[in-house]
Amino acid sequence: MKKWVAGVGAVAAVMMMIGTVHAFGGMEGPCKPDIQKFCKDVKRGDGRIINCLKDHGSELSDGCKAKIAEKAEEKMEEKKGN
């Protein structure tokens, strides 16, 4: 249970770091089913999709969570290099 809670918290933190859908760059593939399931009526733009996914963080598929974590790691590496 502790591992699961930590994982959900990590996903939420990662999603906040990403910030906008443009930061996704290829996220729609693994997250597409989650976007269709949870965010189908959400208008794209201004971070609305990422906010929707953030609202459903504990319900996201493992593939989407993994891609979010991967993208967050890339963003952190970019920030370290700047």
- DSSP string for residues in 19-73: -SGGGGSSTHHHHHHHHHHHSTTSPSSTTHHHHHHHHTGGGS-HHHHHHHHHHHH
What is the value of pTM for the model shown?
0.64
Confidence of residue 27 (pLDDT cuts 50, 70, 90): low
Q: What average pLDDT does the structure give for the chain?
A: 78
Q: Is the pLDDT of residue 23 over 80?
A: no
pLDDT in tens, 35-72: 999 999 999 889 898 889 989 999 999 999 998 888 88
